[in-house]
Amino acid sequence: MKTGKAFWRTLDELADDPSFVERLHNEFPSQVEAITDPTTRRTFMKLMGASLALAGVTACTTQPAEDIVPYVRQPEDLVPGKPMFFATAMTLGGVATGLLVESHEGRPTKVEGNPQHPSSLGAADVFAQASILNLYDPDRVQTLTESGDVTSWPVFITTMKAAMAAQAPLNGAGIRVLTEAVSSPTLAAQISEFVGRFPEAKWHQWEPVGRNNARLGSKLAFGEFVDAQYSIEKADVILSLDADFLASGPGSLAHARQFASRRRVEEGHSMNRLYVAETMPTSTGSRADHRLPLKPSEIEGLARQIAAGVGVGSASAGSGEAAKWAAAVAKDLQAHRGTSLVIAGDAQPPAVHALAHAMNQALGNVGQTVTYTRTAEAEPVDQVTSLKDLVADMAAGKVDLLVILGGNPVYTSPADLEFSKALDKVQTRVYLTQFNDETAERCQWVIPEAHFLESWSDARGHDGTAAIVQPLIAPLYGGRSAHEVVAVFSDKPEQTGHDIVKSFWQAEKPAADFDAQWRRWLHDGIIPGTAFEPKTVTLAAAAVNTPAPAEGGAGIEIAFRPDPAVFDGRFANNGWLQELPKPITRIVWDNAVIASPATADKLKASNSPASRGGEHGTIESSVVEIKFNGRTVRGPIFGVPGHPDDCVTVHLGYGRTRAGHIGNGPGFNAYALRTADALWAGRGAQVTTTDDTFPLACTQYHHLMEGRGMVRAVSLEEFQKNPESVHEGFEAPARTITLYPDWKYEGYKWGMQIDVNACIGCNACVVACHAENNIAVVGKDQVLRGREMHWLRIDTYHSGNDPNRADETYFQPVPCMQCENAPCEVVCPVGATVHSHEGLNDMVYNRCVGTRYCSNNCPYKVRRFNYLLYSDWDTASYKLGRNPDVSVRSRGVMEKCTYCVQRITVAKIESEKENRRVRDGEIKTACQQTCPTDAIIFGDLNDPNSRVAKLQKEERTYALLAELNTRPRTQYMAAIRNVNPELSA
Amino acid sequence: MSQIFPRSANTISRVSIVGAVLLIGLLLGLVYELGASPWVTRQYVAREQPIQFSHERHVAGNGIDCRYCHTSVEQSRFAGIPPTKTCMNCHSQIFSNAPFLEPVRASFNSNKPLRWTRVHDLPDFVYFDHSIHVSKGVGCTTCHGQVDRMPLMWQNSTLQMAWCLDCHRNPERNVRPRSEVFSVSYQPPSSQHEVTVNGKTFTDQVEMGKALVAEYQIQKLTSCSTCHR
């Protein structure tokens, strides 16, 4: 059945290759061999017989005796069995996201966003969600060592005192501190004080995925470092110049929330329009109403053309598609003066940032959709220069004592600086780190760093709002915070992190009842009144008169991007993130050389699925060699629709050698190509195909629905003309098709609504589901067999007939649909999956015998089977982090989304105790709670006033595969594109 | 040709067919009984504890309410095992030198918790919540038995799923007025014993149960996800 618009998920679907279809129909290819091979079959039968017999015997044994260990003195306010929530904050790139962390009897188990924090608004991103796994990582540095020998904190203090004393007569000329971007007011004050005591000592900062270009751009435009603060909800027309502002970078959670609020046509707002010109397809690009794929070098030219169109500077009108695009965008921006917005991406050169500032000024957006404030970073610097200076000093032997506070610079610094070689010339190297990583290998003093859930600190959100970082657990491995390490160098080694932070704020905001105020801050997770005031800035004329970059250059362009899963490499040892299908590419456990399918073809590289594996196809990718500025790396090539031609994108953060058990190995190290003058993009790369191939695990090829049940999307114009257009070509059978009477749901009737128009595919829900439901990580080998365990998968759909162009991209999250006529239930021979009185499709693990009939019969392919013992039952530290309200599944058991039934039960019990019904919004599923765009809504369909019941009556609502009469409880809302008629032709 | 089998073979074969069926039935019955027997369920088996703590002494003897020690029973799924501090509230004054309380004092002084043996141990895939049962009129003794007559604690019910479902299907057979939930001396209504609820007198448990089920809005929750997830 071909219905509506043609959408496809993979290039093979688009090509409609018959051999691919055949493989698709072969559902369990990895077992085929075992059944046809007589020896294996006999062994299999033997083993099955033996296990059956043993299963019978074991059922007669009694349970082993268990202990109950009560407190000696129970903490006040703690009710055993009830979780507590504490506000704290996590920093990434120096900027904080406010969080609420769930704690069970003192063990943090789940991270949520803090609704009061302006950088979170209740949402949390993948990194915050997964941070809990880093806390319990058994690979963390567990002891303080000097040159590999275990030593103690007092020894460290004494040694450092001596080193400092030696520096005193030199005015500290040999002292250097290297940090990541610091927004913590306390830490900045501490370092400034320490460095201030020695006139010659210096503080350097380096953040590999930093906002250096944005900072330099603001300096170029305004003569000072400022942060632009966007009010996305006020903008009718938004132009993004390679900015992934919805899904990465400071404030992205808030931006996504604001953006989505203008995409709900039901709520009466006029819909905004988003234009995106970008290189690597991103979440933001996929939400664009018009997206233009451009090579990195072309974006500045486009920016100049659009700028000229809105009256900023001058540029020669080009020709071709980009020129037409630029003219239409400029016209649209002009038509929305004061309600438009131009955002430049962090990877763009300073000139583009300056142009964006100038355009916003010319369009009258300043004070409306954009304001300027001082930076969230306490001491903004040009980090590239800062790092270069440090390396020069180290290489010259001028540095005697280097204190590195996190960041792993040996791995992340630009390759041409040769940081590690220079580092070896430093006499005393002190490194505070959570992992025994590449930098730890080259430092004598390695201090275990406390995780943010173990330490006191403070940090600023993107708008300047300060939050206190409070610990939820004592350091598992005696870790220290940066505050405590710097205190050693400030001759106050006795100070605890708590005292340092508290005394700083006592001086900053003195009050008679400071303690009460402090407790309020800790409770709320923000310090009120600390958001920055808007600043008046004046645009320098020079901003728009920068010389245009030289055109052309032979070879292929290369772009560097942070990885959407492991970021700059710091999350490489996190299994949840490694196994997270990256937005757009859906690759797990690896990075790849991303190119357009046409470019991949030109390089004669094949990345179609190999014959083994069928639906669960391995992608046997050709390995290519990239030569750039005299350095080479090799990696598998991967074609992505919507990527510009003659250009490759590589993601940072892989190819780690000392990340830990999980992070060592996967991918290739893109930092090896990254130089200080080409941090984000460069020209003249040579890409050659080698004879090698490499298997990539790409979940985009898993759980394909064979062209049925595609996502639905229409243009705003069509929708306004005829709201029914969403359902054109789809047909759902009437409810009267059955002879049986309808089941009456008398109490609650749970349902879920997922707004495809709001979903940005950021994956936060997938990781939240992982954390909430104790889902196991299976590893690359198992993913290659199609056995990943994510209860919630996000399908990426493209439209259009050209494999190189992704005209439109949509994300459709697919959890269990909780069908009213569930096909899985009728085939279970042991009643392990049955319908509840509230319409949930219950999965009873303890009854499941693993026939897999249910998953075979599920048209949505949302059931996951524990083929092996995937859950780690042995590692002690992981046990601490599990959700005690959800069973940890064993081998041979089917599992799937339960609508977070543990949360439903808790809410029902609380409401029952008060003799009332559960209120709308009282239950939030894990995926819903963390969603930055509010795309997932859960509630009671029996309550006509609930949000979900109202939404399910909207015109945009559609059910996936409704034609099968499964009557899914999870329904979707179609995507609406606000197309510019000038560009639609 | 003479008969191969004697006439008695008929009887023998009939007996052995019936016997085989009976034997199989007996074996199955035995396995079932074994599974439900205290040997497997640990019903009525008193457990050794690090301290000879007697509920009989504390509940019947001293009249201490259940909630003095099991503090979270009304708020949480877990009724709560008292911290050592709770023991010491009294035992720093009375029996403060008793040798059998030495482990309590040691725990309090060394800050090392006591390790009690769990008596009521549900499988890990069962999620039971004390607070909702208590608030719906299920008394402590309904499941735990006459704790005031247990010198050492034992499990009074099988804790098997059939036992749970018995009550989940027919709650009226077991509920009692909320005011009586923590009472150990409560007697269900019978022809010899009247129970008054809201001014109405009952002499039959089922009759009172039905009234309470309506008043407390008790649902017959038998969906799997009520307890398993």
B8 touches A: beta carbon within 8 Å: no
Residue B179 tokens, joined: 């005011």
Q: How far apart are CA A873 and CA A888, in angstroms?
A: 9
**pLDDT score recorded for residue A613:** 38
Let me know if residue B147 belongs to a domain: yes
Query: Does position A40 have pLDDT exceeding 70, yes or no?
Result: no
Residue where the block lists tokens 């991949």: A600
3 state DSSP class of A362:
helix
Closest in A62, A63, A72 to B84, CB measured = A72
Under an 8 A CB cutoff, do A887 and B80 touch? no
**pLDDT score recorded for residue A69:** 92
Residue A162 tokens, joined: 């001596």
Query: Does position A543 have pLDDT exceeding 90, yes or no?
Result: no
**pLDDT score recorded for residue A598:** 86
Global confidence as pTM: 0.90
Q: Could you tell me the pLDDT band of residue A34, with boundaries at 50, 70 and 90?
A: very low
Mean pLDDT of the residues in chain A:
87
Higher-confidence position of A340 and A724: A340
**pLDDT score recorded for residue A614:** 42
Do B123 and B219 share a domain, yes or no?
Answer: yes
Under an 8 A CB cutoff, do B42 and A62 touch? yes
Cβ neighbours of residue A200 closer than 8 Å, sequence gap 6 or more: A170, A171, A172, A173, A175
Do B127 and B26 share a domain, yes or no?
Answer: no
Average pLDDT of span A827-843: 92
Chain segment A162-194, per-residue pLDDT in tens: 988 888 888 888 889 999 999 999 999 999 988
Query: Does position B143 have pLDDT exceeding 90, yes or no?
Result: yes
Average pLDDT of span B169-190: 92
Closest in B78, B84, B115 to A81, CB measured = B78
Asked if residues B67 and B74 have their Cβ atoms less than 8 Å apart, the reply is yes
Average pLDDT of span A856-882: 90
**B223 interaction partners in chain A (CB closer than 8 Å):** 834, 836-838, 840, 842
Query: Does position A611 have pLDDT exceeding 50, yes or no?
Result: no
Under an 8 A CB cutoff, do A887 and B221 touch? no
B103 touches A: beta carbon within 8 Å: no
State the distance between the two ends of chain B, measured CA to CA, in whole angstroms: 71
How many CB atoms within 10 Å of residue A262? 21
Asked if residues A530 and A465 have their Cβ atoms less than 8 Å apart, the reply is yes
Closest CA of chain B from A504, distance in Å? 34
Higher-confidence position of A270 and A282: A282
Query: Does position A601 have pLDDT exceeding 90, yes or no?
Result: no
Q: What percent of chain A has pLDDT over 90?
A: 58
Closest CA of chain A from B160, distance in Å? 13
Chain segment B43-87, per-residue pLDDT in tens: 888 888 989 899 999 999 999 999 999 999 999 999 999 999 999
Under an 8 A CB cutoff, do A902 and B229 touch? yes
Residue B77 phi/psi, 5-degree rounding, is: -65, -30
Average pLDDT of span B217-229: 90
Query: Does position A24 have pLDDT exceeding 70, yes or no?
Result: no
Closest CA of chain B from A968, distance in Å? 19
Closest CA of chain B from A848, distance in Å? 12
Element (H, E) at A691: strand A681-698
Average pLDDT of span A267-287: 89
Domain total for chain B? 2
Average pLDDT of span A114-131: 94
Least CA distance to A67: which residue of chain B? B117
Under an 8 A CB cutoff, do B223 and A69 touch? no
Least CA distance to A64: which residue of chain B? B121
Query: Does position A307 have pLDDT exceeding 50, yes or no?
Result: yes
Scan residues 121-160 of B and list those with Cβ closer than 8 Å to A: 121, 123-125, 127, 129, 131-132, 135-136
Closest CA to B58 of B43, B68, B71: B68
Least CA distance to B103: which residue of chain A? A72
Closest in A71, A842, A909 to B224, CB measured = A842
Do B125 and B219 share a domain, yes or no?
Answer: yes
**A847 interaction partners in chain B (CB closer than 8 Å):** 224
DSSP A747: S
- The ipTM assigned to this model is 0.89
Beta-strand relationship, A145-146 and A864-865: unpaired
Query: Does position B136 have pLDDT exceeding 90, yes or no?
Result: yes
Let me know if residue B140 belongs to a domain: yes
Average pLDDT of span A731-745: 78
Under an 8 A CB cutoff, do B221 and A837 touch? yes
**B224 interaction partners in chain A (CB closer than 8 Å):** 834, 836, 842, 844, 847
Closest CA of chain B from A883, distance in Å? 12
**pLDDT score recorded for residue A45:** 66
Cβ neighbours of residue A433 closer than 8 Å, sequence gap 6 or more: A141, A404, A406, A408, A439, A440, A446, A447, A448, A449
Query: Does position A271 have pLDDT exceeding 80, yes or no?
Result: yes
Under an 8 A CB cutoff, do A60 and B72 touch? no
B44 touches A: beta carbon within 8 Å: no
Chain segment A289-306, per-residue pLDDT in tens: 999 999 998 898 899 889
Output the CA–CA distances (angstroms, integers) from residue A305 to A357, A362, A545, A567, in the order listed.
15, 14, 13, 32
Closest CA of chain A from B111, distance in Å? 6
- Listed range (A399-403, A583-587, A724-728) with the worst mean pLDDT: A724-728
Least CA distance to A82: which residue of chain B? B76
Under an 8 A CB cutoff, do B217 and A915 touch? yes
**pLDDT score recorded for residue A56:** 52
Q: How far apart are CA A172 and CA A201, in angstroms?
A: 5
Q: Which residues of A touch B (CB under 8 A)?
A: 59-60, 62-63, 65-74, 79-82, 747, 834, 836-838, 840, 842, 844-847, 885-887, 898, 901-902, 905, 909, 912-913, 915
Site from B31, B37, B92, B125 to mutate, A interface, most A CB atoms within 10 angstroms: B125
DSSP B99: G
Which range of residues forms the domain containing residue B17? 8-36
Scan residues 45-64 of B and list those with Cβ closer than 8 Å to A: 47
Chain segment A54-104, per-residue pLDDT in tens: 555 555 556 788 899 999 999 888 899 999 999 999 999 889 999 999 999
Under an 8 A CB cutoff, do B72 and A837 touch? no
Least CA distance to B30: which residue of chain A? A60
Query: Does position A710 have pLDDT exceeding 90, yes or no?
Result: no
Tally C-beta pairs within 8 A across A and B. 129
Query: Does position A2 have pLDDT exceeding 80, yes or no?
Result: no
Let me know if residue B190 belongs to a domain: yes
Scan residues 165-204 of B and list those with Cβ closer than 8 Å to A: none
3 state DSSP class of A127:
helix
Region label for B80, one of left (φ > 0), alpha (ψ between -120 and 50) or beta (otherwise): left
Least CA distance to B217: which residue of chain A? A915
Closest CA of chain A from B203, distance in Å? 27
Query: Does position A734 have pLDDT exceeding 80, yes or no?
Result: no
Residue A96 tokens, joined: 């904080």
Under an 8 A CB cutoff, do A60 and B136 touch? no
Query: Does position A29 have pLDDT exceeding 70, yes or no?
Result: no
DSSP A271: P
Beta-strand relationship, A401-405 and A175-179: parallel
**A67 interaction partners in chain B (CB closer than 8 Å):** 115-118
Least CA distance to B228: which residue of chain A? A844
Q: How far apart are CA A429 and CA A399, in angstroms?
A: 10
Chain segment B4-54, per-residue pLDDT in tens: 888 899 999 999 999 999 999 999 999 888 888 888 888 888 888 989 899
Let me know if residue B130 belongs to a domain: yes
Site from B74, B89, B225, B226 to mutate, A interface, most A CB atoms within 10 angstroms: B225
Under an 8 A CB cutoff, do A72 and B111 touch? yes
DSSP bridge partners of A22:
none
Closest in B40, B85, B131 to A74, CB measured = B85
Q: Could you tell me the pLDDT band of residue A35, with boundaries at 50, 70 and 90?
A: very low
Query: Does position A36 have pLDDT exceeding 80, yes or no?
Result: no
Query: Does position A829 have pLDDT exceeding 90, yes or no?
Result: yes
Question: Can you list the domains of chain A with their CATH numbers?
Answer: 7-22+703-737+747-981 (3.30.70.20), 145-210+379-465+475-495 (3.40.50.740), 227-373 (3.40.228.10), 556-701 (2.40.40.20)
Under an 8 A CB cutoff, do A60 and B31 touch? yes
**A59 interaction partners in chain B (CB closer than 8 Å):** 35
Let me know if residue B157 belongs to a domain: yes
Under an 8 A CB cutoff, do B224 and A901 touch? no
Let me know if residue B60 belongs to a domain: no
Closest in B35, B75, B107 to A82, CB measured = B75
**B85 interaction partners in chain A (CB closer than 8 Å):** 71-74
Site from A66, A69, A79 to mutate, B interface, most B CB atoms within 10 angstroms: A79
Q: How many helices (DSSP H) and strands (DSSP E) are in chain B? A: 10, 3
Query: Does position A953 have pLDDT exceeding 50, yes or no?
Result: yes
Beta-strand relationship, A149-150 and A841-843: unpaired
Closest in B107, B223, B225 to A72, CB measured = B107
